Amino acid sequence: MCCAESCTGGLIGAAMTDMAGSSEYFLGSAVTYSNEAKMKLLGVREQTLADHGAVSEETASEMALGAAALFGADYSVAVTGIAGPGGETPTKPVGLVYIAVSDGSRVVVTKNNFEGGRQQVRDSTVMEACGLLKDFIEGIL
């Protein structure tokens, strides 16, 4: 499995590698904080970013598919959101995070609204992303 991270800045990859033996299943993580990195590394389309923004269901979906392709992974998880402080808009508040999981063909995306400061939003995102990936792999989603 692999991941593509924006607002978490590598925290999901760190959580995955905290466990001994993670090299048996974890291929890597792409931290794509900028739109340019999302496009260059993950193949997120410029038009997707223009139409929907970096923090959107569509971008999260393309990030997950791009990560799976980049790493040749069976499963991927991708996150994009607004951890704050600042960066929010009237329609995209601080704490808004999209999490996508994929098996390379099917993608499930959730919209999350986390409370708290920057670190709490990021920590909540890591926990939710790991749980979502687990449920996806187990066929619950």
Alpha-helical runs (H) found in 53-117? 57-71
Using 50, 70 and 90 to split pLDDT, how confident is the model at 39? very high
Looking at residue 73, what is its pLDDT?
98
Alpha-helical runs (H) found in 11-140? 11-17, 35-42, 46-52, 57-71, 118-137
Distance CA 68, CA 57 (A): 17
pLDDT digits (tens, 9 = 90+) for 8-34: 999 999 999 998 999 999 999 999 999
Structural domains of the chain, with CATH: 2-137 (3.90.950.20)
Q: Residues 79-85: what's their mean pLDDT?
A: 98
Using 50, 70 and 90 to split pLDDT, how confident is the model at 86? very high
Tell me: pLDDT of 141 over 90: no
